[in-house]
Amino acid sequence: MTRKKGMITREEAFQQVKSMITRAALIHWAFTKTLVKELGEKKGKALAKKAIKLYGKEVGKRVKERTLAKGLPLTRENFQDDLPDLGWAEREKVQVEGENRSRVYTCLLARVWQELGVPELGRIYCFVDQAKYEAYNPELQCVHVKNVLDGDAYCELAVRTKKKQRAEGREHRVNRKRKKLKT
């Protein structure tokens, strides 16, 4: 350990962040597993999801307050990133079919749940993203286009305006009806 005047190396800082992320994953697993065991799968998972949404709303509220304190409008571009770079370093912004998305290649939370063999319990935690964006700005919607806990190679998130999401949903339904009429 190389310490000078209270400083630690980047690697030491990463190990500390990784330790806390692992602990967060373990506590989520423990609470969710206990809820499922005590209440049954359906009720236990529903209650875990409800708790995660409450947590996400609090995170989103705090991000909203920081954004407004800077005098910025509550747009997806102004969402103040709430994850430590050291814990989620392998991520990037990409464009897919003209839509801005975020890709996360390494999720230390997901690794823990995969190691425990409970990706479906860990996946409940991911609803934090929908809740935090909803609390930040009710006109925004976060969508997990891909998720490693669903078997994808990486997580990919899109933040859309609800108007756009509704329009795309209508367009999809219309196209589906047209296809049925042609057959």
pLDDT tier at 71, thresholds 50, 70, 90: very high
pLDDT in tens, 85-111: 877 778 899 999 999 999 999 999 999
Q: Is the pLDDT of residue 148 over 90?
A: yes
Tell me what pLDDT residue 82 has: 75
d(CA 72, CA 60): 15
Other CB atoms closer than 10 Å to residue 93's CB: what's the count? 8
**SS3 label, residue 153:** coil
pLDDT in tens, 2-61: 555 789 999 999 999 999 999 999 999 999 999 999 999 999 999 999 999 999 999 999
d(CA 152, CA 167): 27
Q: Which of 64, 55, 69 is nearest to 139 (CA)?
A: 64
Tell me what pLDDT residue 172 has: 47
Give yes or no for a contact between 116 and 27, defined as CB atoms under 8 angstroms apart: no
Task: Please list, in sequence order, all residues whose beta carbon lies within 8 angstroms of the beta carbon of residue 63, skipping any fewer than 6 positions away.
Answer: 79, 80, 82, 132, 136
The answer to whether domain 10-182 has CATH 2.40.128 is no
Burial letters 56-79, b for 16+ CB under 10 A, else e:
bbebbeebbeebeeeeeeeebebb
Query: Which DSSP state fits 78?
Result: G
For the chain, domain boundaries:
10-182
